Amino acid sequence: MKFKSVEQIVSWRLCMGCGACAYVCPENNIRLVDVPELGIRPYSDPAKCKQCGECIKVCPGVELSHKPFDNRVIPELLSSWGPILEIWEGYAADTEIRFEGSSGGAATALALFCLEEKNFGGVLHTGTKPEAPLQNVPVLSRCREELLARTGSRYSPAAPCEKLGRLQESDSSCVFIGKPCDVAALWKLRAVKPMLDDKVGLTISIFCGGTPSTEGTYNLLDMLGVKPEEAEEIRYRGRGWPGATMVKLKGNKQIRQMSYEESWGTVLSNHTQFRCRLCPDSTGEFADISCGDPWYREIEPGELGRSLLLVRTELGRRILHAAMNAGYVKLEKGSPEILAASQKALLKRRRNLFGRLLSMRTMFIPTPRFSGFSLGTNWKSLSLFDKLRSFLGTFYRIFMRGRMIPLKPFEKQGVRRLVHKSGVSPMATECGGK
């Protein structure tokens, strides 16, 4: 299917909510809405749309193709994990950053190095909306204090590409930190907006198991006995490794908490967006450096956080080594084997993806186009039983959940919402805007 508008992409559940379309629209005609049951979604006025196709060109949800690989990549990792030049494990030398971060604080430490030692103009990443602690907004941090205030995972919708205009206003290069889909969108944007090349000095991706919708956070609060309006702050991870999910209440400052294993494993992971389950890139293959958790061993009680870092480009290598030499991160070389042992769930998704896409195509459902991800090679590594389970399981879930039918947009109170053909409508709130 050839898409002609972002509405069509959204209706077939292929939107990833990165915000690239809102940034690139030459008519400034796309704004983002957080639909709690779905995620952040674009809304445009059809009467003002000139169908230039710019929004479709930069959408990572409908098409993703790998750039040429560096010939120095680790060959045994290429088919399952993309281009990797080096693997490192370690943590931020700054003990406060290490403690506050989701794992070892390495991404924050590298960003701080770029600000203080490389004279970068800022770090575009995700933070909490001050007046709405359950919502995320793109922020530009310019110092250690601002970076530190925005540490920790945000397991809810975020659209950092929406605010890429802030980088164009910067006098010097900046760091961009985002999910794999955000970094992939930025890579596609740079092809149509070359001026971004001078403004993006480094891209860092965080490993991603999928973005839960805002409804996931609502359910999490409900399990903790907290109403959304009672929450003053929510931290999904951090302040230890892996850290607990903590909610601070307004007024009395009472804190409710739940283990990370329970909050992600039994609540949030059940609300990941449909398109996330079709993603071939969970570890930031288009970034200069990717950061995640080294889950290959049991974490001892009270153990401080550690990060797993994948160097993917020569630029990433130069900056990482400079940061090590300057004392911002303490790292040790990692072996290729620890990657698969650390991220078993992400590897399983990659191996099953070919079967999922094949199942969708047999039902004539529009699917994203991928090239350079060795999906067939990964699929062949599965047993016959696992192949059938992937193919037939996808068919069953799509049929039972009515995903053969596109979502239908409609207008109400000036905000376009998205509903299934059944007519069930989620609430919708507008995001940060331009």
DSSP string for residues in 329-364: EEEEE--THHHHHH-HHHHHHHHHHHHHHHHHHHTT
CA-CA distance, 146 to 96, in Å (whole number)? 13
- pLDDT tens for the chain, residues 1 to 434: 889 899 999 999 999 999 999 999 999 999 999 999 999 999 988 888 888 999 999 999 999 999 777 778 999 999 999 999 999 999 999 999 999 998 999 999 999 999 999 999 999 999 999 888 999 999 999 999 999 999 989 999 999 999 999 998 899 999 999 999 999 999 999 999 999 999 999 999 999 999 999 999 999 999 999 999 999 999 999 888 988 999 999 987 789 999 999 999 999 999 999 999 999 999 999 999 999 999 999 888 888 899 999 999 999 999 999 999 999 999 999 999 999 999 999 999 999 999 999 999 999 999 999 999 999 999 999 999 999 999 999 999 898 888 888 887 644 434 445 444 434 344 456 665 43
Residue that has been written with the tokens 């303490």 in this structure: 330
* C-alpha dist (Å) from residue 399 to 9, 13, 135, 359, 424: 19, 15, 32, 11, 18
- Model confidence, pTM: 0.93
Alpha-carbon span 425 to 103, nearest angstrom:
37
Comparing C-alpha atoms, which of 103, 78, 75, 76 is closest to residue 89?
A: 103
Helix (H) or strand (E) holding 292: strand 289-292
CB 434 within 8 A of CB 169: no
Q: With beta carbons less than 8 A apart as the criterion, state whether 104 and 114 touch.
A: no
Count how many Cα atoms sit within 13 Å of the Cα of residue 18 in the half-sphere of its side chain. Answer: 34
Contact predicate 32/41, CB 8 Å: yes
CB 280 within 8 Å of CB 271? no
Distance (Å, whole) CA 49 – CA 5: 9
- What residues contact 215, with CB distance under 8 A and at least 6 apart? 36, 37, 271, 426
Q: What is the length of the chain?
A: 434
Burial of 9 per CB tally in 10 Å (0-12, 13-18, 19+): buried
| Whole-number Å distance between alpha carbons of 413 and 378 | 47
CA-angle at 33, arms to 244 and 145, nearest 5°: 45
Q: For 96, which DSSP code?
A: H
Contact criterion met (CB below 8 Å) for 198 and 141: no
The identity of residue 408, as a single letter, is K
Point out which residues pair with 291 in neighbouring strands. Answer: 206, 309
Closest of 106, 109, 107 to residue 117, by C-alpha:
109
Which token pair is 158? 């975020």
Residue among 339, 313, 315, 311 at smallest CA distance from 70: 313
Contact 152, 236 (CB under 8 A): yes
